[in-house]
Chains A and B, each alone.
Chain A
């Protein structure tokens, strides 16, 4: 049920920023996520600042250098259907087209899509979880079949819900941000926050800051982009797994590769392992298979219940939690990633019980 709130719709950016500086203020752009968050009581917002009156934030323009400047209020539908985007960055159009359902794409905005709250059912439900100021992540030991397999360190295992963010990261896009103090530009790769850094924030945006535009660099010659999304059902669903690809080719050879996964980690997850496999190679089915395998080789699904992680105790990496602190390890608050040695990883099938066998 929606809580009580005030609603303002300023017509100037600076006014909007002023309102947003207040405590418990929240941006209302398309509202498709905001209303759900309010209804579910996961945001404590008493002032909604609609930015729909800020006309400068709508629309797609070509920049001087041949890139694009997309207003943050541009709808997902517009991003999916815009001709310039389709021509320069078909992967972005594809990503946008994979978002939710037609109704939600008509209403949702690109800026909003980048700033979505996670879809973890514990976070959205009546569970006082770590991200909401509670003491633990329920998903680590709970029902986590839709949760992260990378970058969670067993702290908070949400996946980032956006389909456009991975593509924008792969395209090295940036956002222009206006805030109470100043303007700044943030690479989208740096926009999202890992739970290790701050478990209660999804973006680095500060109170009062608004994304005004998304800036795409001019496409390199022979740039190929795409986005592929797998979900539990074919519409109106978030990614179980997805991949945004931006490859610069020289004939059949990959010159530069960006591989960014969706539905995999708390932030759009760049797979450098996969990129390394691709770079410099002829793009053959074999290379693609290798790149795909590399993308998940280091995956760290949450433990199946009753699975005990056993460390032989001689792991050389710092932060490894040695057997003298098994409790802490079992609770999943350790830096698990650092505890894996290559041997353990290679020996195990994805999702199976894995032993850290470092000697």
Chain B
């Protein structure tokens, strides 16, 4: 017991009652720490540069790895000559498909198993050889000195022609990877009942993740145990994949990645590079660091597939949606990766509609396989559906917000048995958003403005969404360890991918234990020292981990009470935990400071273990949102200036207002990129190679492309059924309806439906010229 222990403790914070064993904790009606705009617990580390990212790791005797990649979209490796490269200064090891080290090593692209080195290279960037050398430069130089004879094969890069009879085959079985059909009701009947039926085709571009920190890892062997520090969204995913590839017991692979500089879905699992790094480290008996170049990350660690979507929709004059038909296709790349996956989900489930039919076709092309990208499928689907809803509203002369409000579902229509949502905040998002945004007055103001003789036209637009996941769920195990001086470790396997997970977990534990979050040190994202967790993706990290943290805190309180019962010689059921002390309910004079509990002092620590409980049976936990945007179009130059943006989100309880708003702003920025500036360009008609694999040609929005006036408005609905914290996911819905809201605003400003993203200035001018020509 130290004299300054007061700084740790209560500071007058009421502590929630400790529930009896096997009973669930009560829903927090009021919170003291949760929801507060608490700065990040690791802000100093991140800003000062003391945080050690995998890219920062430097081990004694460490050397560097580099990969030689196939420069063609489709080729067969005939011969590899490493003789010259081997002789180069500093080169320690070269492995190719011929090397003993790599002979039987396999890799899995999703479910398809392939050799680590496949002479049949199906996309530009597939691995051909790997080098380890004393410096990164020497390693790169050596890859260039390797001579490879390729048999260049016919390729297909344009997914819209991938199913043509004349198209080159990416895989032997043909280019149609998967066709998924869904239907409910009778769309023919639905269209017959409609007063208005519209049909339109929409396109969205292939988007690259380009996280700030490059993909890569450091691998080190201590005898037969491998440690991999990987820039990753989930260390357990790294562990299992690498153990599988190298045929090692899980216990012999330690994966860690305490900090990471962005992933957006592209770091949910490791890559072939991780395996190569481990093999090079083994062969050289040195730690090896392997960071991909920016160009490599653009080629081969994922993308959001481009999509073509045909949508047909019918509505009655009163705004009742009668039928929706949706046909979409998209490329997985050269291996199964979900090219059209979830693109139709919003059509299936966002609005009340009895008759829905969708078809999604996933095709193969000779390009890098896709990986999940922040809300896979959803922003694409929203681009089509949310524009179509606006078109319908225009046709039946109804306000687009009203049309959406008319069709709010309370049940998930697309799921078996139509389970209800625990909460559906869609109505509140639209209503409160329209009010906050000044939807009606803005519309009037803009109509007046656009009536003037000016080349600057304004528009407002709305887009709504839900996110298919975001409820979280088991498994998750969290341990909270109380040291004898009263300080704590919170131990969890999940990664903080930059969203503020650690901060929120500290808040949850602090809330339940009634302590200041600063006493809680977080240990996370290390398979050797923390508990199993699924990767941080799907907007599920908070709703998955937070309830387990709360349970761990409760378990810790129970443990302490039991120990205190021995010291006080009082039945533990008559004791309560009030933060720094345990008190007898019958006489509060009888109390003991927790740091004075003798068992704690003897053992040095006490542990609380929490597990994530099941989700509510027969109910669905989904977040909902609506985005509102105002913009100005220069009809002479095609320039688009976003004036303001409002993101309204029902993600259950707001755990931390700062990190909440951060997600909303970040999602809007990403959505602006999706709608206006970003696209991957393949040289489809000539070489099939990637044209824009750098940050100049691949155009992320800059600070000047983003409005200063961004507002985040949470719709905080009590959702006690979702989980014991009431939090739903947020990180993905924040970027789903953004681009569609922009497109709808563009339509108001110009009278043109921009069906093809991104809407660059030339696209604006092209469409306006078309319109003016009639």
Asked if B224 is at the interface (CB within 8 A of a chain A CB), the reply is no
Q: Contacting B697 at CB < 8 Å: which of A2, A121, A126, A231?
A: A121
Asked if B88 is at the interface (CB within 8 A of a chain A CB), the reply is no
Structural contact, B691 and A122, CB atoms closer than 8 A? yes
Structural contact, B689 and A126, CB atoms closer than 8 A? yes
Structural contact, A142 and B699, CB atoms closer than 8 A? no
Asked if A317 is at the interface (CB within 8 A of a chain B CB), the reply is no
On whether A138 and B699 interact (CB within 8 A), knowing A145-B762, A233-B704, the answer reads no
Expressed in whole angstroms, the minimum distance between the Cβ of B715 and any Cβ of chain A is 32
Asked if B485 is at the interface (CB within 8 A of a chain A CB), the reply is no
Structural contact, B686 and A236, CB atoms closer than 8 A? no
Asked if B687 is at the interface (CB within 8 A of a chain A CB), the reply is yes
The CA-CA distance from A125 to B691 in the complex, in Å, is: 7
Structural contact, A350 and B683, CB atoms closer than 8 A? no
Asked if B766 is at the interface (CB within 8 A of a chain A CB), the reply is yes
Structural contact, B762 and A233, CB atoms closer than 8 A? no
The CA-CA distance from A349 to B705 in the complex, in Å, is: 31
Expressed in whole angstroms, the minimum distance between the Cβ of B306 and any Cβ of chain A is 14
Provide the residues of chain B in CB contact with A145, threshold 8 Å: 760, 762
Structural contact, A232 and B761, CB atoms closer than 8 A? yes
- B residues 662-702 with Cβ under 8 Å of A? 676-677, 681-687, 689-694, 696-697, 699-702
Closest residue of chain B to A100 (Cβ to Cβ) is B696
Asked if A230 is at the interface (CB within 8 A of a chain B CB), the reply is yes
Expressed in whole angstroms, the minimum distance between the Cβ of A228 and any Cβ of chain B is 8
Closest residue of chain B to A351 (Cβ to Cβ) is B766
The CA-CA distance from A1 to B762 in the complex, in Å, is: 33
Number of A residues near B (Cβ < 8 Å) is: 30
Asked if A234 is at the interface (CB within 8 A of a chain B CB), the reply is yes
Structural contact, A230 and B689, CB atoms closer than 8 A? no
Expressed in whole angstroms, the minimum distance between the Cβ of B642 and any Cβ of chain A is 10
On whether A121 and B639 interact (CB within 8 A), knowing A143-B683, A236-B702, the answer reads no
- A residues 305-352 with Cβ under 8 Å of B? 305, 349-351
Structural contact, A234 and B769, CB atoms closer than 8 A? no
Closest residue of chain B to A289 (Cβ to Cβ) is B636
Q: Contacting A234 at CB < 8 Å: which of B686, B704, B762, B773?
A: B704
Provide the residues of chain B in CB contact with A240, threshold 8 Å: 760-762
The CA-CA distance from A2 to B762 in the complex, in Å, is: 35
Number of B residues near A (Cβ < 8 Å) is: 39
Structural contact, A233 and B699, CB atoms closer than 8 A? yes
- B residues 345-396 with Cβ under 8 Å of A? none
Structural contact, A230 and B637, CB atoms closer than 8 A? yes
- A residues 231-246 with Cβ under 8 Å of B? 231-237, 240-241
Q: Contacting B686 at CB < 8 Å: which of A1, A141, A235, A241?
A: A141
The CA-CA distance from A349 to B636 in the complex, in Å, is: 16
Structural contact, B699 and A237, CB atoms closer than 8 A? yes
Provide the residues of chain A in CB contact with B682, threshold 8 Å: 143
Asked if B498 is at the interface (CB within 8 A of a chain A CB), the reply is no
The CA-CA distance from A141 to B685 in the complex, in Å, is: 8
Provide the residues of chain B in CB contact with A119, threshold 8 Å: 696
The CA-CA distance from A145 to B141 in the complex, in Å, is: 34
Asked if B27 is at the interface (CB within 8 A of a chain A CB), the reply is no
Expressed in whole angstroms, the minimum distance between the Cβ of B135 and any Cβ of chain A is 11
Q: Contacting A142 at CB < 8 Å: which of B137, B140, B685, B703?
A: B685
Q: Contacting A349 at CB < 8 Å: which of B677, B686, B704, B773?
A: B773
Q: Contacting A232 at CB < 8 Å: which of B71, B677, B689?
A: B677
Asked if B638 is at the interface (CB within 8 A of a chain A CB), the reply is yes
Provide the residues of chain B in CB contact with A141, threshold 8 Å: 685-686
Closest residue of chain A to B639 (Cβ to Cβ) is A230
Structural contact, A230 and B685, CB atoms closer than 8 A? no
Closest residue of chain A to B763 (Cβ to Cβ) is A145
On whether A233 and B677 interact (CB within 8 A), knowing A121-B697, A143-B684, the answer reads yes
Closest residue of chain A to B676 (Cβ to Cβ) is A233
Provide the residues of chain A in CB contact with B140, threshold 8 Å: 1
Provide the residues of chain A in CB contact with B638, threshold 8 Å: 230
The CA-CA distance from A126 to B700 in the complex, in Å, is: 22
The CA-CA distance from A138 to B683 in the complex, in Å, is: 9
**Closest 4 interchain pairs by CB?**
A234-B704, A235-B702, A121-B691, A235-B704
Interface of A toward B, CB cutoff 8 Å: 1-2, 101, 119, 121-122, 124-127, 138, 141-143, 145, 230-237, 240-241, 292, 305, 349-351
Q: 6 A-B pairs, CB-CB below 8 angstroms?
A: A119-B696, A121-B692, A121-B697, A143-B681, A232-B699, A233-B676
